[in-house]
Structure 1
Amino acid sequence: MPIINPYISQNIFSAIKKAENILLVSHIRPDGDSLGAILAFYKFLVGQNKKSVMLVNDVLPAGFKFLPHFNQIETDFNNFRGEKFDLIIFLDCGDFMRSGLKNYEDKLKDVLAINIDHHFSNDNFGVINLVMPEISSTSEILYHFFSALDFLIESGIATCLLTGILTDTNFFIHNNTSHATVKSVSELIKSGAKINSVLENIYTTPSFKSLKLYGRALARLQIDTETELATTAIFLDDLEEIRAVEDDLEGLDNYLSLLNDVKGTLILKEHELGFVKGSLRTTRNDVDVAAIAKNFGGGGHKKAAGFKVAGKIVKSETGGWKVERISQVT
């Protein structure tokens, strides 16, 4: 099993014990791992009788509302006006920008920062850094961290961590799944993780509206001959006509990633206020979609990444779909 550096784990625990008011932060464009990690850590702090709050500076995907304390996640840092934090713990943030707190950097500059993450691109931006890119997910890191502290993982925490591990490995499909990952999942289930609840809420048959959206995405599917990516687009008109919301697209990227004759997939989603969201996936070891996302100010993993950029969706000259960037959104 992976070994957590005892010096780092004790430094983190010591900082927690000394703190009076803790801010937990996970990344924008939240996913199962970022949400599972922040919720598990929040429950851990509750067990330590520590005052803490959670922040995800973005819209929360409703598909994860079955997780305990989901409704307690704050989505706007401005709502903490007047709060003074003496410890901030970043969970699953590949870099500080992914936290969505760039505009509040001055307010947080004197706050002790702990950075817990598994992204290869992490630049160790915290004062204390627990960064383990060889581990499948931040949720799996937390499993080993809690175990190193001899902390008894109860059912709610186990369910949060299980959600993070299963979603970031795409239910063991991705090659970031290791023997240790599978063993961790086994132990979490033994600790009371509600695997049926996770499967019912995350790994379910799409709804009618989802399938309608899938149909439009499949109808527009094109291979870009330059990048060799299968690309498609979803527009605001699609959501309006089907009376769907963005959450109804959940799972489309993993579905398209099953294509085996392209280097990867790119789904472009038209967003309000002149923005485009991009979701990239690949199953190949020789493709790094995080590097592609980085060109648009995004990030993520080698096999799963995303970005949000000002622009519009247009047909590319090489057969697929692309983002035509604009310098300013008015």
Structure 2
Amino acid sequence: MSFKVESEIHCCGGKLLKLSHDSSKTGTSMNVNVYLPQQFYHKQSDKIPVIYYLSGLSCTPQNVSEKAFWQLQADRFGFAMVFPDTSPRGEDVPGDPANGWDFGLGAGFYVNATQQPYAKNYQMFSYIHDELPTVLDQFFKNPSLDFLDNIAITGHSMGGFGAIAGFLKHYSSKKYKSCSAFAPIVNPSKVPWGEKAFGGYLGSDAAAWEQYDPASLIQKVQNNGTDRILIHQGTSDPFYRDQLKPELLLESVKGTSWEGKIDLELVEGFDHSYFFVSSFVPQHAQFHAKNLGLI
């Protein structure tokens, strides 16, 4: 399955590639940005690991590529970055019937929809975790890029939820070496954004919701003893108290193997924007670089 290179941009010491491809999972064309660090072009590393970054509600691959400054950290430690889109898009792709911004186009919630009319296109869980890494590996066909094995995952807001859920659902196979999140929705079954999305994509069955809810998933996953999840949350985030509620994840792990393994850092005065995200990307980059064997 071939990618089309829409543009190739020199950035920091490497290049940002803006790509598109036809997805078999979503049935649409999907955009994805990939940053290849300076080590790739200077042949300084035999094997370059990859971090997948999942963006939040209403975002495209451009927001994080232009505002988070991951490229500087990628050059520093020697990892590549993959920035997928947040949902399928196109004239025939159903959106929010209420014309909202928190469901439908730009708000795929990284789940596999089971409800109509969304099930045809909104297969974002399978797209992110199965199809995209595979087709990237097939497209680049470069032994110095590791899209499949030495990988980590992170994300912001809706994407933070998607990162944690994907990490936990693949934990037994050790697909991801590490996971972090910026202001994630940690218990979507109990907040308005999640209730709307899960209801629309998954229906009314609470058991279907639990299959994606980090607060439920983490209680069923046995920590190997060393893994930790890093989370940053701004105290001035307007969504902190009613939509994100990171403390609910801490409550859910009490008495489990994950108790004491969730590093929640509340940072005074920070909001929900990319000013917040970019401020703590260096800490998250170092966290993943260590787990990816780069430090």
Asked if Structure 1 and Structure 2 have the same fold, meaning a TM-score greater than 0.5 normalized by the shorter chain, the answer is no
Of structures 1 and 2, the larger Rg is shown by: 1
TM-score normalised by structure 1 residue count: 0.27
TM-score normalised by structure 2 residue count: 0.29
